[in-house]
Amino acid sequence: MDKKRKQQLEEKGFRVGSTAEFLELSPEEEAYIDIRLDISNMVKAQRAKRGWTQEQLARAIGSSQSRIAKLEGGDPGISMDLMIKALLRLGTSKKQIGKLLEGELEAA
């Protein structure tokens, strides 16, 4: 949100803050959510880069297309195990995953 819009809202009595503030997330909870979303985005980007469908990825890791759709959509019910397994099957190296976790690698 730009500064002008934020100022206009605050002048009208609105409180403007981040999603983390609104949800009262601890720094650890916020970081965990960010990591999950970064991994989800990376799976989607790597799958598209390879030209695979969600169905193809699902078959390659012994899952279902609907679970891949949920994974790529950031569903909190998807395990980190499945997310990492998908990345590895798509040819992502452990080093690339590490850089993603360190925040040095774009999810795309």
pLDDT tens digits, 38-94: 999 999 999 999 999 999 999 999 999 999 999 999 999 999 999 999 999 999 999
Q: Domain-by-domain residue ranges, the chain? A: 26-102
Query: In terms of pTM, does the model score above 0.75?
Result: yes
Sign of the CA dihedral with 18 first, then 22, 24, and 30 last: negative
Write out the E strands in the chain: none
**CATH class of this structure's domain 26-102:** mainly alpha
CB 85 within 8 A of CB 61: yes
Average pLDDT, integer, range 93-107: 80
d(CA 101, CA 39): 9
pLDDT value of position 106: 54
Q: Given a cut of 70, is residue 105 above it in pLDDT? A: no
44 vs 32: CA distance, rounded Å: 19
Phi and psi torsions of 77, nearest 5°: -80, -5
- How far apart CA 62 and CA 82 sit, in angstroms, is 10
How many Cα atoms within 13 Å fall on the side-chain side of residue 4?
0
